[in-house]
Amino acid sequence: MRRLPAPHDANPELGELVISEEQIRSRIAELGREISADYAGRPPLLVGVLKGAFVFMADLCRAVDLPVEADFMAVASYGSATRTSGVVRIVKDLDLDLTDRHVLLVEDIVDSGLTLSYLRRNLLAREPASLAVCSLLVRDADDQEELDLAYVGFRIPSGTFVVGYGLDVSERYRNLPFVCAYAASPPRFAS
């Protein structure tokens, strides 16, 4: 991994660059082409999971060459600042009805998979025509649920807690245009 250029080098909370702006841009273009081909003739309803997915969602929806629709839901998970407990609460529900829609759930990162398995159950109960998941990042983890992700941007190693491009620590760093390690990581991530 490459060192971050200044001024991020000067911030001791930020660590190594994990995914550059250019890598994100080119991977999203690829995902957009795949999604456009897979959903030709049945434009998907993109469902972004707030807040982490808002940056990815904005770029991904513009990379899809189909008349997509977009909606958002916000979830809060009980747990520590850096690890979910799997108990998820819907803070903002969708505006649109999912019945008979081809739903593509857009996530920032899948870690344990607990948030995702909750969301999957919740959305399937609304009887969409199909439900698939696109996650920008997937962390390699031992204790991961069965994931079944149709589209994955990047896999990151288990020891790295990351920020940027929508991902936060206590609401900070979502606006970084790249993904980098959070150096002041909690013990589970300190490697």
Tell me the CA distances in angstroms from 91 to 2, 75, 99, 139, 160, one per residue in order.
38, 5, 21, 25, 27
Nearest CB to ligand IMP, comparing residues 28 and 84: 84
Rule CB under 5 A: is residue 164 a binding residue for Mg ion?
A: no
Rule CB under 6 A: is residue 185 a binding residue for ligand IMP?
A: no
- How many residues in the shown chain lie near ligand IMP by CB under 6 A? 16
Q: Are 87 and 163 in contact (CB under 8 A)?
A: no
Tell me the CA distances in angstroms from 92 to 28, 48, 50, 84, 88, one per residue in order.
26, 11, 9, 18, 12
Containing 146, the helix (H) or strand (E) segment is none
Rule CB under 6 A: is residue 64 a binding residue for ligand IMP?
A: no
Whose CA is closest to 108, among 45, 48, 155? 48
Residues 6+ apart with CB under 8 A from 6: none
Beta strands in 14-170 (DSSP E): 14-19, 45-50, 69-79, 84-92, 102-110, 130-139, 151-156, 162-163
Nearest CB to Mg ion, comparing residues 99 and 170: 170
Nearest CB to ligand IMP, comparing residues 39 and 161: 161
Nearest CB to ligand IMP, comparing residues 64 and 116: 116
**97 annotated active-site:** no
Rule CB under 6 A: is residue 136 a binding residue for ligand IMP?
A: no
Q: What mask of x and - would describe binding to ligand IMP in positions 70 to 109, judged by CB under 6 A?
A: --------------x----------------------xxx
Rule CB under 5 A: is residue 166 a binding residue for Mg ion?
A: no
Rule CB under 6 A: is residue 162 a binding residue for ligand IMP?
A: yes
Residue choice 46, 103, 110, 132 for contact with ligand IMP (CB under 6 A): 110
**Which residues are identified as catalytic?**
111
What residue ranges bind Mg ion (CB under 5 A)?
52
